[in-house]
A and B are shown apart, each in its own frame.
Chain A
Amino acid sequence: MGIDLFGSLPLVVIWLALGGVGIVIQAFVRDNTRLVFGYYISTLIATGVLAALTFGHTGLTFDGMVTMGGSGAFFDILFCVTGILTMLAARPYLQREDSEIDEFYTLLVSAVSGMMLMAHANNLVVLFVGVELMSISFYVMAGFFRKSIRSIEAALKYFLLGAFATGFLVYGMALVYGSTNALDYATITSVVRAGTTPFPMLLAAGVTLMAVGLCFKIAAFPFHQWAPDVYQGSPTVVSAFMSTAGKAAAFSAFIPAFTMLMPVGAGASYVMNMQLALAVIAAVTMLVGNISAVAQSNVKRMLAFSSVAHAGYLLMGIVSGTAAGHQAIVFYLTAYTFMQLGAFVIVSILERENDGHLEFSDYAGLSKTHPVLAFLMAMFMFSLAGIPPFAGFFGKYMLFIAAIDSGFTWLTIIAVVSSVISVYFYLGLVVKMYFSDPVGEGHATNPGTAALTLGVAAAFTVLLGVLPSVLQSMFTAFH
């Protein structure tokens, strides 16, 4: 059996830490929340460090089931960092809501391990297991506030629709397997390229169904309707984690899967149609996300629609299908993760029990009551809108260039238009915070460890905007 132990370390370590040691600690140590919290933080740190160490060690392991190093390792680091930041923000939040249970961290880490499987998958079976591992953890995390009817609604909606989407994904995989007689990416790519499948219709149907499944996971247009309800109803830190790391994981699976199924210049006729279909989905997703966000009065819901819109921007990279497009996705995902996470964490700090203090009007005059939070929020909003000195701008720029280079100028024009629309509601919040007077008494907030999350998120949002080359230099290692 071909197992490269060093290269597989990140995956193996997080598994053993979770399924081997973590569960035992949770089962046999009483009053263990602090211990479990620290344990899982260090697990994620260790995994992230190992991923960084194996970054240059590319290749396949476990009989070609998973890839090592390269973009997979990069995504590992991203997931681990997001996981750590979410945990730091979650602890004070959950304590405030009086529902800190140690299993929250277990589920978070298992979600991270599922995402890592998705990023490393080199086989459809691994991809499926990864998607399910992440999704199942998410379903439970979405319903973590079991006394809140909204949280339960979010969990149920997410579960039912998610299970349905998984059905699409699996059916697509089955059809792809049936028409190419292979589950591993390399063989499928070669069959698709050569156009030697005896069942081209089935292959096309399979690819379409897989695209549907993955589009659900990234919340792209016709399959985005769950996103606002789920992100609004879930505990805010969970929404933060789902809308950032979850989306990154879906794209980390989307990129290799569609490099495989939709190789540019391949013989199969469906490739062009598929590309066009994805382009249309991307365009509609941006418009629908941004236009719906304009109409929202709830900040969480607004952020949810903004995450839908960002899925549209990110899809542009998939549509282009080029290496530059994929690099742009990775860059924008990294930037988006930090700014969206930061925005959601600020919401979680300001939030009060029973979904209180979540309306736009509650943010009026925030610059006077909470100047630091208001400043950071403004920064994240600028970045999300894609305004220059911040990370969001540069990511969008890369995506637009990639789309134009592959001939999708019309898509870029729509993207620019929808970005302009998005400025309205992002800056609307900033205007509310800075140019309105506070209503009633401002209440005290205690961010606790969430301050650390905000600091890191803010630092990266600025750093990636000012020095994008830091990340870009890493991409040369991918390809």
Chain B
Amino acid sequence: MDMHVLLFALFAVGAVASAVLTVTRRNPVASAMSLVAHFFMLSGLYLTLEAQFVAAVQVLVYAGAIMVLVVFVVMLLNLGNEHRLQERSSLRSVMGTLIAALFAVQVIITLLAHPTGMNAMSPQALTIGTTESIGQTLFTTYLFPFEAVSLLLLAALIGSVILAKRHVK
């Protein structure tokens, strides 16, 4: 068995397991920490696919910044004893389950129609995932959206300050 495939399988199983834990844990902190674990697993998946930069950024941004804030807020709120959410089987949850099942069926059909198997990794994969090539693309071809994102972040920043500020006037 190839090392890559083995690691991929390992991380894939871990990712699914931690994702399941994320939605089934009743304690918000446990749920958040499962999500952190999930991000690590995803990062591992990216690594096995030679997407180094994305792997590092996945941990840096999601696990290291966003989830820290989530955990921070959960702790600040200090929810105390967690209560079991009484989820009655409403029309909504039935519909949700149905749609999810439909989606799963679709994924299975797609996979069966085109069995991808274990293809050898494209030699291109080694070069396109590096920081260097991503930087190159980002500052040449994708310069426009890249700069546009800065404006997006600016708007988000102004917006959050406005909404959070205690005394605006």
Contacts and interface: CB of A to CB of B under 8 A. Distances in A.
Contact of B144 (A63, A146, A199): A63
Interface in B109-161: 109-110, 113-114, 140-145, 147-152, 154-156, 158-161
A126 B145 contact: yes
Contacts of A62: 143-144
Interface in A115-139: 117, 123, 125-126, 129-130, 132-133, 136-137, 139
Contacts of B154: 18-19, 23, 110
Contact of B162 (A1, A15, A18, A140): A140
Contacts of B155: 106-107, 110-111, 114, 133, 136-137, 140
User: What DSSP secondary structure best describes chain B's contact surface?
Assistant: helix
B148 A117 contact: yes
A1 B143 contact: yes
B11 to A, nearest CB: 20
Interface in A138-175: 139-140, 143-144, 146, 155
Interface in A62-111: 62-63, 65-66, 98-99, 101, 103, 106-107, 110-111
B163 interface: yes
B93 interface: no
A156 to B, nearest CB: 10
A396 B72 CA distance: 53
A139 B159 contact: yes
A107 B158 contact: yes
Contacts of B168: 99, 101, 146
A99 B165 CA distance: 13
A19 B151 contact: yes
Contacts of A103: 158, 161-162
A139 B151 CA distance: 16
Contacts of B147: 15
Contacts of B142: 65, 125
Contacts of B145: 65, 123, 125-126, 129
A34 B37 CA distance: 50
Contacts of B162: 101, 103, 107, 140, 144
B97 interface: no
A126 B114 contact: no
A133 B162 CA distance: 16
B83 interface: no
Given A1-B143, A63-B140, A201-B106, A133 B159 contact: no
B88 interface: no
Interface in A10-35: 15, 18-19, 23
B159 A129 contact: no
Contacts of B84: none
A205 interface: yes
Interface residues of B, number: 28
B92 interface: no
A438 B29 CA distance: 58
A185 to B, nearest CB: 14
Contacts of B109: 201
Nearest to B156: A136
A277 B100 CA distance: 20
Nearest to A155: B163
A19 B169 CA distance: 23
A319 to B, nearest CB: 24
A18 B169 contact: no
A209 B46 CA distance: 25
Given A139-B159, A201-B113, A133 B169 contact: no
A199 B114 CA distance: 8
B143 A99 contact: no
A111 B155 CA distance: 9
B151 A15 contact: yes
A244 interface: no
A99 B169 contact: yes
A126 B169 contact: no
Most chain B beta-carbon neighbours within 10 Å: one of A113, A136, A137, A144: A136
Nearest to A113: B151
Contacts of A201: 106, 109-110, 113
B159 A137 contact: yes
B156 A199 contact: no
Nearest to A144: B162
A198 interface: yes
A376 interface: no
Contacts of A106: 155, 158
Interface in B30-63: none
A406 B115 CA distance: 39
Contacts of B114: 198-199
5 contacts: A65-B141, A103-B158, A107-B155, A136-B155, A202-B110
Interface of A: 1, 15, 18-19, 23, 62-63, 65-66, 98-99, 101, 103, 106-107, 110-111, 113-114, 117, 123, 125-126, 129-130, 132-133, 136-137, 139-140, 143-144, 146, 155, 198-199, 201-202, 205
Interface of B: 106, 109-110, 113-114, 140-145, 147-152, 154-156, 158-163, 168-169
Given A19-B151, A103-B162, 14 more contacts: A1-B140, A15-B151, A18-B151, A23-B154, A65-B142, A98-B169, A101-B162, A103-B161, A114-B152, A129-B152, A136-B159, A137-B159, A139-B159, A198-B114
